[in-house]
Amino acid sequence: MATFSTNEFKQGLKVLLDGDPCSILDNEFVKPGKGQAFNRVKLRNLLNGRIWERTFKSGESLEAADVMETDMSYLFNDSEFWHFMKTDGSFEQFAADKAAIADALNWLKEEDVYVVTLYNDNPISVTPPNFVEIEVVETDPGLKGDTAQGGSKPATLASGAVVKVPLFVNIGDVLRVDTRTGEYQNRVR
Amino acid sequence: MPNDMRWRPNASLANLRLRADMLARIRCFFADCGVLEVDTPLLCQATGTDPHLEALALELAPGEWRFLQTSPEFAMKRLLAAGSGPVYQLCKAFRRDEAGQRHNPEFTMLEWYRPGFDDLRLMGEVEALVRTCLPTAMFAENTTIPQISYRKLFRQILALDAFSASDDELLACARQHADIGDMGLSRDDTLSLLMSLVIEPQLREPLFVVEFPATQAALAQIGQDNEGDAVARRFELFVGGMELANGYLELTDSAEQARRFDADNRQRQASGLTVHAADQRVLAALAHGLPDCAGVALGFDRLVMLAAGAAHIEQVISFVADNA
């Protein structure tokens, strides 16, 4: 297996630390006037999402983690697993469990494309696109005339997410939503 | 050629002008005090043995290797032994695997030696030079830059005596401040970690740190502090949470110098690093007689960073390593 030394640590590099695959977020080189140099490395544990800082002696190395980020379209959920298929024409399918789907669970729509992170060929996380377009399945009727005041109300989307929307939004409308903030962007139709 | 090829300098033209102005001021400063500017080779047959410094090597001709200097120290000491009198040099130095916010593998160093000065007197001159380059507002009014001993600094910031604390106590303190996993650390490594991760960022106001542990003497003479511990006659200047200069009351004893080269090489061997033959020319110069002197190396790029208010070294270097 390939290894990477601290001076090769770059943002986005995937390494194995204490047995878990981690993504490097930041790497800072520090050295006293005379003496041992260190690297303060910020990492995200890809299994549990935890972000923390680990200090290494400069020159130490870590094993590369077999982590791949792949575009896949969402197929269906069989109550235990969420099934995805590669978009590269291979028709290869993968099943994500509840822990892996967590970040995308509120934003799933069949046939939409998600970034599935595979570790040793198993999905460990699913990242939704920054913007999704999903239909409203439940919301109170809007009060006419209040639209200019910028009032808002909750609306439930077909994916299960609850989003704050303007009062003019009705059941059946398709909304564009920013998945990073959960904020309503506009009405698509 | 692709249109998006990166070609512009890293530093702003304003910072490059500031840099040029500071080079001129430094040359003026030394001309005024009668210190001779010298120019020693970057390509050297020998390199230092410091286990924490790696030189870059290149092949002049088949099988004929040279090291790029990590500092001009040995060549300048040979000049001093030959009777040069006080000398300074503004030069490039090269260090492998050093890149980051305050490091570039190729950087500009200001180094000078003062025969007849001790470390204390040289600190005064370092302050005078730094004051000619940095805004007055960076210094406390009506007073010189304060000095603090390494021991007192650790006591103040970490409530720990760097000399008498046990290795385990030091390690426990390091673990409180950083996740270091199961990293193996020697006593000096642990001290280095605490110094650079915890203490250094807090040293905002200009401050000289003196009386380093004797194990961190490098090429400085060893004396005794008032608690009877052996300490290095070495000083470091910190400004803006950054180490700016490192100076010594220089070791002049060639036998002791040879012993330190050997000790470094034993440590290099134990760590699986290449052993470097001691520089016989500098040992011969010391044997001939190096005048009693103090010397200091100052990171010129960092001085420009402070003057420019730059957070990253790339803001003051025309083209950094990955844009060179």
Q: What is the domain extent for residue A146?
A: 131-187
Rounded average pLDDT over B88-96 = 97
Q: Are residues A21 and A60 in the same domain?
A: yes
Phi first, then psi, for residue A132 (nearest 5°) are: -125, 155
Cα gap A146→A167, rounded to integer Å: 7
Least Cα distance to A33 among B12, B59, B298 occurs for B298
* C-alpha distance from A59 to closest chain B C-alpha (Å): 8
Q: DSSP string covering B43-90, please? A: EES-----TT----EEEEETTEEEEEPS-SHHHHHHHHHTT--SEEEE
- Percent with pLDDT over 70 in chain A: 95
8-state DSSP, A89:
S
A50-64 in b/e form (b: 16+ CB < 10 A) is eeeebbbbbbeebee
Please identify among residues 112-151 of chain A the ones whose CB lies closer than 8 Å to any CB of chain B.
none
Which residue has 């000096």 as its token pair?
Answer: B188
Same domain for A119 and A86? Answer: yes
Give the Cα separation of B267 and B261 in Å (integer).
Answer: 10
A71 and A123 belong to one structural domain: yes
Show which residues on chain B lie within 8 Å of chain A, measured between beta carbons: 50, 52, 97-101, 103, 178-181, 183, 185, 188-189, 191-193, 195-197, 200, 216, 218, 236, 243, 246
Report the domain count for chain A: 3
Instruction: Kindly determine whether residue B97 and residue A7, on different chains, have CB atoms separated by under 8 Å.
Output: yes
Rounded CA separation B250/B233 (Å): 8
Average pLDDT over chain B reads 96
Q: What is the pLDDT of residues B217-242, one digit of tens each?
A: 999 999 999 999 999 999 999 999 99
Whether A58 and chain B come into contact, CB under 8 Å, resolves to yes
Q: In Å, how far are B38, B73, B92 from B41, measured between CA atoms?
A: 10, 11, 10
DSSP B15-42: HHHHHHHHHHHHHHHHHHTTPEE----S
* Chain B CB within 8 Å of residue A56 CB: yes
For residue B280, pLDDT over 80 is answered with yes
CB proximity A98 to B under 8 Å: no
pLDDT mean over B134-144? 93
Confidence of residue A66 (pLDDT cuts 50, 70, 90): very high
CATH number for A156:
2.40.50.140
Helix B119-133 to helix B13-32 angle (10° resolution) is 140
pLDDT of residue A53: 96
Interface check for A93 against chain B (CB to CB < 8 A): the answer is: no
CB-based contact B101 A58, cutoff 8 Å: no
Mean pLDDT of A82-88: 96
Asked if A140 and A120 sit in the same domain, the reply is no
Q: Give the ranges where B274-324 is alpha helix by DSSP (H).
A: 280-289, 300-308
Of A110, A127, A144, which one is at a domain's C-terminal end? Answer: A127
Write out pLDDT tens, residues B158-200.
999 999 999 999 999 999 999 999 898 999 999 999 999 999 9
Confidence of residue B137 (pLDDT cuts 50, 70, 90): very high
* A34 contacts chain B (CB < 8 A): yes
pLDDT for B4 equals 78
The CA–CA distances, whole Å, from B177 to A29, A148, B201 equal: 17, 53, 13
Q: How far is CA B320 from the centre of its chain?
A: 20
pLDDT in tens, B48-60: 999 999 999 999 9
The span from the CA of B179 to the CA of B207, in Å, is 28
User: What is the pTM for the complete model shown?
Assistant: 0.87
Distance in angstroms between the alpha carbons of the first and the last residue of chain B: 17
Residue with tokens 């986005």: A12
Taking CB atoms and an 8 Å cutoff, what residues of chain B touch A34?
50, 52, 216, 218, 246
CA distance A43 to A45: 6
The residue in chain A having the minimum alpha-carbon distance to the alpha carbon of residue B99 is: A29
Start-to-end CA span in chain A (Å): 51
Q: Which CATH number fits domain B13-146+205-323: 3.40.50.10090, 3.30.930.10, 1.10.287.540, 3.10.450.50?
A: 3.30.930.10
What integer pLDDT is reported at residue A149 of this predicted model? 56
Question: Residue A146: is its pLDDT beyond 80?
Answer: no
